[in-house]
Amino acid sequence: DADVTQTPRNRITKTGKRIMLECSQTKGHDRMYWYRQDPGLGLRLIYYSFDVKDINKGEISDGYSVSRQAQAKFSLSLESAIPNQTALYFCATANPGQGANEQFFGPGTRLTVL
C-alpha cells in the first residue's frame, strides 16, 4: 500500500552493526506495528504502538528497539545485528476507531546480516 512506506527496501549489513529501519504512513492511523517474516514461520510481531506515547513488546522483541517519533513515523532498530535477524520486515498501520479492523502493510524491508 503506497500510503505506508518503508526505507530502505533492501539492506545488507555485517554482524554487530547498528541498523535502523524506518516506516512512514500518510493514513493518519494511530496504531503502528513491526513484524518480521521468515519462511515457514509466518508473520511475527516485534513491537507495536497504539499512539505516540505508547510502546508495547510483541512476541519476539529481544534484540530490537523502536521509536515512535510522531504519529506518522515508527522506526525499528537493531542495536547489534546478528545473522539470525536476517528476515523480511514489515511495518503496518491500523485505525480501529474508524470501525474497521484492517491492518495496512508496507512493502517490506529485506535485511541480510552477514
Partner 1 sequence: GENVEQHPSTLSVQEGDSAVIKCTYSDSASNYFPWYKQELGKGPQLIIDIRSNVGEKKDQRIAVTLNKTAKHFSLHITETQPEDSAVYFCAASIGTGTASKLTFGTGTRLQVTL
> What are the residues binding partner 1 (CB under 8 A)?
1, 4, 31, 35, 40-45, 48, 50, 58-59, 90, 92, 94, 96, 101-103, 105-108
**Euclidean distance between CA atoms 50 and 34, whole angstroms:** 12
**Residue written as cell 491500523?**
94
Q: How far is the CB of 69 from partner 1 (least distance, A)?
A: 21
Q: Which CB sits closer to partner 1, 94 or 113?
A: 94
CB of 63 to partner 1, least distance (A): 19
Contacts of 44 (CB under 8 A, 6+ apart): 35, 36, 37, 38, 58, 59, 60
Min CB(14)–partner 1 separation in Å: 25
Separation between Cα atoms, residue 44 and residue 63, nearest integer Å: 14
Min separation Cβ 16 and partner 1, Å: 29
From the CB of residue 97, how many other CB atoms can be counted at a distance below 10 Å?
9
Give the nearer residue to partner 1 in terms of CB position, either 28 or 107.
107
- 3 state DSSP class of 75: strand
